[in-house]
Amino acid sequence: SGSGGEGSGSGDGDEPFKVIAFTSGNQTPIGAWWVKAVEAKADELGWDLTMIQGDFDFQKMNPAVESAIGQGADVILDGYTDVASIGSIVTAAKDAGIPIFAMDSGTEPTDAFAINITTDQQGIVDSTVGALDESLGGLEDKTIMVIGHDPHPGIRMRSGLAEEALVEAGATIAGGEIQKVASPATGRTEALAMVADFLTANPGGLDGVWVGWDDAALGAAQAITEAGATGKVTGVDATSEAIAGIQAEGAFLVTVEQPWPSILDSLIEHILAYQEDGTIPEKSFEAVGTTLVNVDNAADITPSDKLG
């Protein structure tokens, strides 16, 4: 397949397998790891890889990917880029008949991708809320703050699920709704101020903070520590800083490890199957399980920013 690249490969017949890979988040540690890991795999498998890094600038990234599509490819690999932001890429790929294999690129099944493997958001929520429940001795009548960040679909989804789960368990949501961090760049300071201000307005009124990602969770934990309060904080991502926080046994209670390397491995399996005989995965959406990181297993977890 592939619409025939210009001038690629001088040998007759067996041109190398052409892969376009793109990620919007190369300035995050996970994004950086992904780029390196994909490049290594491509080397190993002898792919002709075009790697496009978007730096969250879709205005720049999408045309670059589309023009690569225009030059022909066999497979497209999407890492961590929400399907919502790449409508034009999806269209271009469909038109060219090239399948997109994706990881963590949206929280719901979509026919945009041949497959999208992501983590099980409900599982993340179940384990973190469960840890809170356990640590606080039940959630009934407890006040829990939920901190989310809407622009990130994963965080948005699990924040919503967490809110539901907490309400169901009888907890009160602090502030009556999910607290929203506006910018990822200032997530930690925003969360710090939010929790600090809430604690002043409601002294002793916070039993826990459920946060959608570790960076902001670290700010929330710091606010609780500084206020001398007792609440517990949960995060998601398993960054080394969060793991260290958990090991310190302070306000930071648990975080969640998402198995990116194994997800990438199984994605590659799917691609190889496709390369072999054009097999398209049966299910276009797969949500894999995650590991809760608590003080017991913290030492054994590879932090997500140390994958590379």
Q: Tell me which residues in 74-93 interact with another protein (CB under 8 A).
A: 82-88, 90-92
Q: Does 70 sit near another protein (CB under 8 A)?
A: yes
Q: Does 209 sit near another protein (CB under 8 A)?
A: no
Residue choice 135, 189, 247, 266 for contact with another protein (CB under 8 A)? 189
Q: Which region, left, alpha or beta, applies to residue 222 given φ > 0 means left and ψ of -120 to 50 means alpha?
A: alpha
Q: Which region, left, alpha or beta, applies to residue 104 given φ > 0 means left and ψ of -120 to 50 means alpha?
A: left
Q: Tell me which residues in 138-167 interact with another protein (CB under 8 A).
A: 149-151, 153, 156
Q: Give CA–CA dist 281/267, Å, rounded.
A: 10
Residue choice 4, 9, 183, 272 for contact with another protein (CB under 8 A)? 183
Residue choice 17, 18, 24, 28 for contact with another protein (CB under 8 A)? 28
Tell me how far the alpha carbon of residue 181 is from its chain's centroid.
17
Q: Tell me which residues in 242-271 interact with another protein (CB under 8 A).
A: 244
What six digits make up the tokens of 305? 């920013």
Say if residues 125 and 115 touch (Cβ distance below 8 Å): no
Neighbours of 67 (CB within 10 A): 12
Residue choice 141, 200, 277, 300 for contact with another protein (CB under 8 A)? 200
Rounded to 5 degrees, φ, ψ at 75 are -150, 145
Give the CA angle between residues 287, 151, 54 to the nearest 5°.
85
Q: Which residues pair with 220 in a beta bridge?
A: none
Residue whose CB is less far from another protein, 47 or 198: 198
3-state helix, strand, coil in the chain (%, to 5): 45, 20, 35
Q: Does 175 sit near another protein (CB under 8 A)?
A: yes
Residue whose CB is less far from another protein, 168 or 197: 197
The least distance separating another protein from the CB of residue 246, rounded to whole angstroms, comes to 13
The least distance separating another protein from the CB of residue 279, rounded to whole angstroms, comes to 28
Tell me how far the alpha carbon of residue 128 is from its chain's centroid.
16
Q: With CB under 8 A as the contact rule, which of the stretches 128-136, 185-193, 253-261, 285-293 interacts with another protein?
A: 185-193
- Identity at 41, one-letter amino acid code: K
Q: Which residues contact 215 (CB under 8 A, 6 or more apart)?
A: 184, 187, 188, 237, 239
Residue whose CB is less far from another protein, 193 or 280: 193
Size of the site for another protein (CB under 8 A): 67
Say if residues 260 and 34 touch (Cβ distance below 8 Å): yes
Site residues (CB under 8 A) for another protein?
A: 7, 26-29, 31-32, 52-53, 55, 57-60, 62-64, 66-67, 70-71, 82-88, 90-92, 149-151, 153, 156, 175-177, 179-183, 185-186, 188-189, 192-194, 196-198, 200-201, 203, 215, 218-219, 222, 226, 239-241, 244, 305
